[in-house]
Amino acid sequence: MEKDDDGMITDFPLISADTRFDAVVLANGEFPVHPVPLGILRGASHVVCCDGAVMNLPFTPTAVIGDGDSLSAEGKLRLKGLFHQVSEQEDNDLTKATRFCLGRGWRRLAYLGATGKREDHTLGNISLLVRYMREMGARPTMITDYGYFTPARGRQLFQSFPGQQVSIFNYGCRALDSQGLRWDSYPYQMAWQGTLNEAVGDSFMLAGDGDYMVFRTFEAKK
């Protein structure tokens, strides 16, 4: 945790290529190309791949989790000792990988490659972050080539910079207020209503009586 100039504690600093997490979960969506997610991946202490995502990884991961439907018999043999087959279909591979990490005490998790390709998978993966926070006690961040999604609840301070684009998605708040954004927040009823806001300083505050999701961009609006 860090403190801003007013001494308020924040769990939500800016994300950079040097940010470190307990573990990185690599999904089988679009492999990242932006320097920030690539730096996080290269610097990770533990990398857990969702099934076929291991085929895109240029180094050996900590583990590969899934039902194995994206791996050939030869691939499974090559990954002997690293591949943990979980055949149940109640949850997707992202959730299976999350459980694997949490079972080893890794709570602060970065998700890469979880967007792109099929749009239904992208929407599902993003929404799972709230479940991981709410039901599993994880501290998840999903990082794309454009920015990062973070679920939160209650009153929280987010580090930012002037012109940073901020989108807020409501997951059950009946009250939702903000300070430090160009437009005041409210308990949005539709997903689009909280998008395309903008930070006006080095931090902003959100206060809600439930859960919400925040997306922050790497770059300021041009």
The whole-angstrom separation of Cα 32 and Cα 44 is: 15
Residue where one domain finishes, among candidates 145, 171, 194: 145
**Among all chains, which residue has been given the structure tokens 């945790």?**
1
Q: Is residue 13 part of a domain?
A: no
Q: Are residues 63 and 84 in the same domain?
A: yes
pLDDT tens for residues 51-86?
Answer: 888 888 888 899 999 776 666 666 666 677 787 778
- Residue 184 amino acid letter: D
Residue where one domain finishes, among candidates 145, 175, 207: 145
Give the global pTM: 0.92
- Cα→Cα distances 62→18, 44, 100, 125, 211, Å: 20, 10, 11, 22, 31
| Cβ atoms 198, 191 nearer than 8 A | no
- 187 CB-near residues (< 8 Å, 6+ apart): 170, 173, 174, 175, 176, 208
Q: Are residues 126 and 61 in the same domain?
A: yes
pLDDT tens for residues 148-184?
Answer: 999 999 999 999 999 999 999 999 999 999 999 999 9
Residue where one domain finishes, among candidates 145, 160, 181: 145
Q: Are residues 116 and 58 in the same domain?
A: yes
Q: Are residues 62 and 90 in the same domain?
A: yes
Q: Are residues 130 and 153 in the same domain?
A: no
Please state the domain count of the chain.
2
Q: Are residues 106 and 207 in the same domain?
A: no
Cβ atoms within 10 A of the Cβ of 59, count?
7
Q: Is residue 95 part of a domain?
A: yes
At 7, the pLDDT band (50, 70, 90 cuts) reads very low
| Cβ atoms 131, 94 nearer than 8 A | no
Mean pLDDT (the chain, rounded) = 90
Q: Are residues 125 and 58 in the same domain?
A: yes
Q: Is residue 6 part of a domain?
A: no
Write out the two tokens for 11.
């769990």
Helix (H) or strand (E) holding 98: helix 93-102
pLDDT tens for residues 33-57?
Answer: 999 999 999 999 999 999 888 888 8
Q: What is the CATH number of the domain that holds 168?
A: 2.60.120.320
Q: Are residues 104 and 63 in the same domain?
A: yes
Q: Are residues 34 and 136 in the same domain?
A: yes
Range of the domain at 124: 23-145
Q: What is the CATH number of the domain that holds 75?
A: 3.40.50.10240
